[in-house]
């Protein structure tokens, strides 16, 4: 399998390092043609407005949405979670509205207000997940089809999953935490399995590349 990490801006190198440390092939994605043959895609943390503009400029929005529609796993961290949300509290138009959540940007304040926290994520086992929150968003509303994966001690939602899309308000990759990446790899393996409606035989980006 090959896992792509959107490499337009932000903390994409750390995600590449985590996947490669797991013995997986991980590649940067900058153009629609880079999506060809991928089994999963990561949207990293960074500056969401800049990433939004670059996604539109390089024609990535449509191919990413089609990739998700076909069932490929998509993982967003921090700014990546904002990009995946159907609603952004300040009224900014959604970019890749794949998660039925409402998200508030910079919910914890400025860069100086960044912090780290240990989180219980039952999906990942009993050991807490160490998350790094840097100008992090928070989820204000969760749709009926969305599973909450983690909350802060005050109850605020900071990790969710809806079908093949997973998102965290924090950076697991900056804390040396690989369990979310293992989950994405497992989902990618299932996406690659041959069978009706699944696998690379119907991968949309292969058609796009051929055109």
For 163-183, the pLDDT digits (tens) are 999 999 999 999 999 999 999
Active site residue 171: yes
Query: Alpha helix (H) ranges present in the chain?
Result: 12-21, 48-57, 61-69, 79-84, 179-192, 204-210
Quote the percentage of the chain above a pLDDT of 70: 89
pLDDT band at 17; cut points 50, 70, 90: very high
Above 70 in pLDDT, residue 133?
yes
Which of 28-32, 39-43, 109-113 is least confident? 109-113
Rounded to the nearest integer, the mean pLDDT of the chain is 90
Which of 15, 78, 162, 181 is catalytic? The answer is: 78
Cβ-Cβ contacts under 8 Å for 194 (sequence gap 6 or more): 201
What domains sit in the chain, N to C, each tagged with a CATH number? Answer: 2-210 (3.40.50.880)
For 78-100, the pLDDT digits (tens) are 999 999 999 999 778 899 999 99
Distance (Å, whole) CA 107 – CA 105:
5
Q: Give the pTM.
A: 0.90
Active site residue 25: no
Which of 162, 173, 181, 203 is catalytic? The answer is: 173
Which of 171, 177, 181, 203 is catalytic? The answer is: 171
Beta bridge partners of 76: 43, 167
């Amino acid at each position: 399998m090959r896992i792509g990490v959107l490499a337009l801006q932000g903390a994409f190198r750390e995600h590449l390092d985590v996947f490669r440390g797991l013995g997986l092939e991980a590649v940067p994605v900058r153009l629609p043609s880079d999506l060809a043959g991928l089994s999963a895609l990561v949207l990293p943390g960074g500056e969401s407005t800049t990433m939004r503009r670059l996604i539109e400029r390089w024609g990535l929005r449509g191919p990413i949405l089609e990739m998700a529609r076909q069932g490929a796993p998509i993982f967003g961290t921090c700014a990546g979670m904002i990009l995946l949300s159907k609603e952004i509290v300040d009224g900014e138009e959604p970019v890749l509205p794949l998660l039925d959540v409402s998200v508030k940007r910079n919910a914890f304040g400025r860069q100086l207000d960044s912090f780290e926290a240990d989180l219980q994520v039952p999906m990942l086992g009993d050991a807490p997940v160490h998350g790094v929150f840097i100008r992090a968003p928070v989820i204000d509303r969760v749709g009926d089809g969305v599973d909450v994966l983690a909350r802060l001690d005050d109850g605020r939602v900071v990790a969710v999953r809806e079908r093949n899309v997973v998102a965290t308000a924090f950076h697991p990759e900056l804390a040396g935490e690989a369990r979310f990446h293992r989950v994405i790899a497992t989902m990618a393996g299932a996406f690659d399995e041959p069978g009706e409606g699944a696998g690379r035989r119907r991968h949309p980006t292969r058609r796009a590349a051929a055109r």
